[in-house]
């Protein structure tokens, strides 16, 4: 089979040392080769500058730019320099976060949010960082949660989501990409939701954690109020590197905030002072700096390649994988249409955990959920040959159901 003309970015990442094919970008991206040097720079800055590093360190992220940077302002600096271009956002609207969970907690405690209305509309399949958080704040805030069940195929019920938005609605929360299906909500749909939500005086929040690498018009064009996510997955930023975008015209004052979010943190006044920058109010206590040193190395690679080029490449790779899956008779749970497809592909496989173990033993790294769904995502570091090998081996395992004899390596564990 002739090789597919995918983007050639493999040489920029540290590949598995045992020669395995890593197809789990939706769980944790491969490490960019520049990461060890960035971690070494953190150690050197800490050693040579000590406390003074909070005020100024060499600009390792944009060398030669002449832009001063210190640990204290690094979350906002990286938000402007790397996250904003990734989301097609304006400067001053994005900031790094420890994780998506923290961002949701901050948002739900904003004093402007639930003043008169309490209705929240969200899909029933929202990721726990969002869904569980809303459930746990329900009683304290008196929230009226309207969780919209998915369609029979598992996809978002777009009509029901729209119909649920009314004059009682204060918050609409969408998953840009469904983590159990890989379905990406289209730009048109998100824009339609934004118009209706804003007409009713409601805010639109989008969880975009699984959206990196997927084609979309950008947060400004979608008119979302808050877009949260992280760089752990296709962004290859590892853990501790979440982010949030807050629409510049929006005023939110989280009660759950910390001294890094204070307007005068070193005044040490008895009462907090609200920071004039809304995004800064989403910071908590002392920021973890080490993760920020390597946070954007993967984003840098994607930006250098071009976000549109990466998005088109993702579509080409997922289509290539779908074609191979069709050849061996797999049932696709993800959308086939390009406009609704993300980097994540989900297939229905009986004993999916055993299928994942069968593949792993043969050098193919994929993932399973609930013993029913096999998940994989060929990304910029994969080759067509790896995708071919994945489905050839899986086809052999499916023949005669041989894969069911495999014992999952970690049947009780969450990560595969």
Cβ(200)–Cβ(119) below 8 Å: no
In a domain, 363, yes or no: yes
pLDDT value at position 415? 56
Note whether 267 and 379 are same-domain residues.
no
pLDDT value at position 158? 97
Over residues 282-303, the mean pLDDT reads 97
From 246, 272, 303, give the residue that closes a domain: 303
In a domain, 413, yes or no: no
In a domain, 1, yes or no: no
Domain count of the chain?
2
pLDDT value at position 212? 87
pLDDT value at position 1? 46
From 272, 303, 334, give the residue that closes a domain: 303
Residue 313 belongs to domain with CATH number: 3.90.1150.10
In a domain, 171, yes or no: yes
In a domain, 3, yes or no: no
How far is Cα 305 from Cα 312, in angstroms, rounded to an integer? 11
Range of the domain at 211: 40-303
pLDDT tens column, 146-164 = 999 999 999 999 999 999 9
In a domain, 93, yes or no: yes
pLDDT value at position 2? 47
Burial annotation 254-278 (CB, 10 A radius, 16+ → b, else e): bebbbebbbeebeeeeeebebbebb
Mean pLDDT of the chain: 94
pLDDT value at position 245? 98
pLDDT tens column, 369-414 = 889 999 999 999 999 999 999 999 999 999 989 899 888 866 444 5
Note whether 120 and 253 are same-domain residues.
yes
Note whether 203 and 310 are same-domain residues.
no
pLDDT tens column, 312-359 = 999 999 999 999 999 999 999 999 999 999 999 999 999 999 999 999
Note whether 208 and 71 are same-domain residues.
yes
Note whether 341 and 362 are same-domain residues.
yes
Residue 109 belongs to domain with CATH number: 3.40.640.10
What distance separates the 2 farthest-apart alpha carbons in the chain?
71
Over residues 88-113, the mean pLDDT reads 96
Note whether 131 and 250 are same-domain residues.
yes
From 303, 333, 360, give the residue that closes a domain: 303
pLDDT of 3 strictly over 80: no
């Amino acid at each position: 089979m002739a090789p597919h003309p995918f983007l050639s970015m493999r040489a920029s990442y540290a590949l598995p040392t045992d020669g395995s094919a890593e197809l789990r970008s939706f769980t944790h991206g491969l490490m960019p080769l520049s990461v060890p040097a960035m971690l070494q720079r953190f150690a050197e800055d800490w050693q040579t500058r000590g406390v003074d590093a909070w005020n100024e360190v060499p600009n390792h992220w944009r060398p030669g730019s002449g832009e001063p940077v210190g640990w204290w302002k690094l979350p906002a600096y990286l938000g402007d320099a790397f996250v904003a271009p990734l989301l097609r956002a304006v400067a001053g609207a994005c900031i790094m976060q420890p994780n998506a969970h923290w961002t949701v907690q901050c948002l739900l405690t904003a004093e402007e949010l639930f003043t008169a209305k309490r209705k929240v509309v969200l899909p029933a399949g929202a990721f726990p960082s969002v869904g569980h958080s809303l459930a746990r704040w329900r009683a304290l805030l008196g929230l009226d949660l309207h969780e919209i069940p998915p369609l029979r195929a598992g996809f978002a019920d777009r009509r029901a989501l729209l119909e649920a938005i009314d004059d009682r609605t204060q918050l609409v929360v969408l998953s840009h990409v469904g983590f159990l299906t890989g379905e990406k909500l289209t730009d048109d749909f998100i824009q339609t939701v934004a118009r209706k939500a804003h007409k009713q005086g409601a805010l639109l929040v989008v969880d975009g954690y699984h959206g990196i690498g997927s084609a979309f018009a950008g947060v400004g064009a979608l008119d979302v109020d808050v877009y949260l996510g992280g760089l752990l997955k296709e962004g290859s930023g590892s853990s501790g590197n979440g982010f949030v975008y807050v629409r510049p015209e929006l005023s939110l004052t989280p009660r759950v905030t910390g001294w890094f979010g204070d307007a005068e943190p070193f005044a040490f006044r008895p009462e907090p002072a609200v920071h004039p920058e809304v995004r800064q109010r989403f910071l908590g206590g002392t920021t973890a700096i080490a993760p920020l040193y390597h946070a954007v190395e993967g984003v840098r690679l994607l930006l250098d390649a071009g976000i549109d080029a990466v998005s088109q490449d993702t579509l080409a790779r997922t289509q290539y994988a779908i074609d191979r899956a069709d050849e061996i008779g797999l049932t696709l749970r993800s959308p086939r249409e390009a406009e609704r497809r993300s980097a994540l592909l989900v297939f229905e496989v009986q004993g999916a955990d055993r299928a994942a173990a069968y593949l792993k033993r043969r050098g193919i790294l994929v993932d399973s959920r609930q013993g029913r769904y096999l998940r994989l995502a060929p990304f910029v570091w994969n080759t067509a040959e790896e995708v071919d090998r994945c489905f050839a081996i899986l086809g052999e395992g499916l023949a005669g159901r041989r894969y069911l004899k495999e014992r999952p390596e970690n049947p009780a564990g969450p990560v595969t």
